[in-house]
Amino acid sequence: MANELAAVVMAGGLGTRMKSATPKHLHPLLGRRMVDWVVQAAQAAGVERVVVVASLDTADAFGDVEVAVQHTPLGTGDAVRSAREALTGFSGDVLVLNGDGPALTPDLPRALVEPHRRERAAGTVLAFEPDDTRSYGRIVRDLDGRLARIVEAGDASPEELALREVNSGIYVFRADKLWSALEQLEPHNAQGELYVTDTVGLLVAAGQAVAVHLAPVPWEVEGINTRVELAFVAAKLRDRINEEHMLAGVTIVDPTSTWIEAGVELEPDVTIHPFTVIRGGVRISTGAQVGPFAYLRPGTSVGVGAKVGTFVELKQSTVGARTKIPHLSYIGDAEIGEDTNIAAGNITANYAHEPGLPKGRTRIGSNVRTGVDNTFRAPVDIGDDAWIAPGSVITDDVPAGSLAGFPPRQETKKGWVYDKHGKPDR
């Protein structure tokens, strides 16, 4: 159908300027790989089909996403042409996106497609105006505002070099016009490479209408080629994520020192203090306080009104409502109930048993009071209302209402807490 929309995401290059054994498009960025940001932006924009063009070495790295393999890196034109078989029979519009542009928002593809369809263009180029036009191809428009040509910087006249609009390398084409033009591409360099830019030139030369849409925010469309650029975009994405949380009712005391990855769930009235890192797959409930200098890793859930304080690391753990872990503790592979207080310097030693066995889990119940410098040798179960003596290594289960610890070897006084203080009424 003519109104269908597909996307070809070019992610086959190695990115040698990153100086890394990891292909550029697979570098991690705020909880996702670089290319995943592009794919998810396309899907959120309403793209029905996304085809990632990958190299043979990375073709298995994309999970459920449809992949086309570019067997030999022969330029962007060849990359898009590699996706043609995957889109056999598709007759709508095809977005061409760069896999190294993770700042792309869903609004931008939608904004590109709208004038493309309104003007019934064969293709539409996404232009932008960077502070430094560098070696970007310059956009030359005709009197009607449509594209006359794209001039590479090395071939441009002084007047053309003065133009502010440059080519982002992002396009949308009518599928039939795209495949026809790709068949006509010829290499114009010693490397034998084919470029999508030449596809645009062929359409213009054939008298086809090619429109131009100007991106409002330049950094959202610039590609990443170095780790310097990666760090710049990471900071921009951090600010975008933090702003979304703050507008939804979260207090982030110092957004510039707080790194929250994509996929984190924060309820209203959560407070995040400075120098905190929260990885994807973390959920924090309303009224909770986190940080400063906290590190929350995937699989962690923090309950209503709980506190995760200074230099506390959590991983694959559940923290109950109103429970406090104020400072200097590592809690991994653990479940902690409600209204518990974890004293300073506590560790759940989840790998302390025989080699080769899976990590053990620690369960600490509700209304438990641990002591300073406690280590819990998983798997171990601490019952509700129990107390733990300072400096203790807990190797055995502690029944509810008991007092345990007393180095060097664990001693457990069953029911001691209930005998001294009575059993809570709850």
Whether the bond between 28 and the residue before it is cis, its omega within 30 degrees of 0, is no
Q: Which two structure tokens, joined as six digits, stand for 382?
A: 């601490």
* CA-CA-CA-CA torsion sign (91, 111, 243, 217): positive
Burial group, residue 145, by CB count within 10 angstroms (0-12, 13-18, 19+) = exposed
Phi first, then psi: what are they for 291, rounded to 5°?
Answer: 90, -175
Q: Which of 25, 27, 245, 327 is an active site residue?
A: 327
Phi and psi, residue 295, nearest 5°: -135, 110
Is 353 annotated as catalytic? no
Residues belonging to the active site? 327
